[in-house]
Amino acid sequence: MMESEEKRGDKHTREFFTVMKVYINGSMVDEKNAKISVFDHGLLYGDGVFEGIRAYNGKVFKLEEHVDRLFRSAKAIALEIDKTPDQISSAVVDTCNANEINDGYIRLIVTRGVGTLGLNPYLCKESQIVIIASAIQLYPVELYEKGLSIVTVGTMRNHAEAINPRIKSLNYLNNVLAKIEAINSGVMECIMLNPQGYVAEASGDNVFVVRGNTLSTPPSWCGALDGITRATVMDLAVSAGYSVSEDVLTRYDLYTADEVFLTGTAAEIIGVSDIDRRSIGDGRPGPVTLKLGEHFHAFARENGTPIR
């Protein structure tokens, strides 16, 4: 193994990479040469959209759904993507191949492109497409066994007519401010409420409540992202015999639930042990959470777009 090789990733990824290859506008470049202009509106203003995608067992999970959501987000902000969905999907697979990804994490980014120091997005001549295929571990492994302590934060989820939370934009400052509050409270995650005081989502994950044989999750109009892992878990839960619904939830519903868990591409499924110092269930991930976690991992490893 060459001396220039450096360790990357965790147990879900190939342990060593020579040099990471990053896709930028149709070319694979070494990570040290993966650069965009300082005049890119994605950098200057958070003007762009992105997707976080998983690869499991040599397949890209829910690639079509992720690319479709990317284009919906782009349309919502009047961003023209200079490639077709099929071309974007092929580029994702090519980037995984270039980095010999078997199990890993892909970040797909489209920025408005190079413009001026002014806000006018129509002065940006063409969008920029960046794809990174590597690894991610959002929470320590032991928290999937013990459960996650979370708090409610004061930072509200964006109003739907400010930056609609269904747009997966590069402007994540709303989420970052919520994450800062969580960390300052001594925990890793939080619950964000919408301007009406209803539960929206976590700083980067969707929220589920379990009561008996019923699963509830906030509807997207309450400020929740249309999560792809969320939708997958809902389908798997129905197949497993659970009742699933989208409901307006308050903190009372979370505090008094049998189980609470979060879902997301990076987080997958993680149980919540306590919220605002109220123990959820017996203070550990419950049986429904654990069962759905097993179903999800089995399903994800068997389904997806082949990388090779």
- Average pLDDT of every residue of the chain: 93
Residue whose pair of structure tokens reads 């079509």 in the numeric block: 64
Tens digit of each residue's pLDDT (9 = 90 or more) over 174-202? 999 999 999 999 999 999 999 999 999 99
How far is it, in rounded angstroms, from Cα 110 to Cα 48? 6
Query: Which of 287, 300, 289 has its CA nearest to residue 207?
Result: 289
In the chain, where the domains are located: 6-136, 141-302
Please pick, among 21, 59, 168, 179, the residue that the annotation labels catalytic: 168
- pLDDT confidence of residue 137: 83
How far is it, in rounded angstroms, from Cα 222 to Cα 201? 9
- pLDDT confidence of residue 12: 42
Specify the fold of 6-136.
D-amino Acid Aminotransferase; Chain A, domain 1 (3.30.470)
Crossing angle of the two packed helices 228-239 and 287-302, in degrees rounded to 10: 110
The whole-model pTM stands at: 0.91
CATH 3.20.10.10 given to domain 141-302: yes
- pLDDT confidence of residue 308: 87
Give the 3-state secondary structure of 6-40: EECCCCCCCCEECCCEEEECCEEEEHHHCCCCCCE
**Which segments in the chain show pLDDT lower than 70?**
1-18
- pLDDT confidence of residue 37: 96
- pLDDT confidence of residue 18: 63
- pLDDT confidence of residue 258: 98
- The answer to whether 125 is a known catalytic residue is no
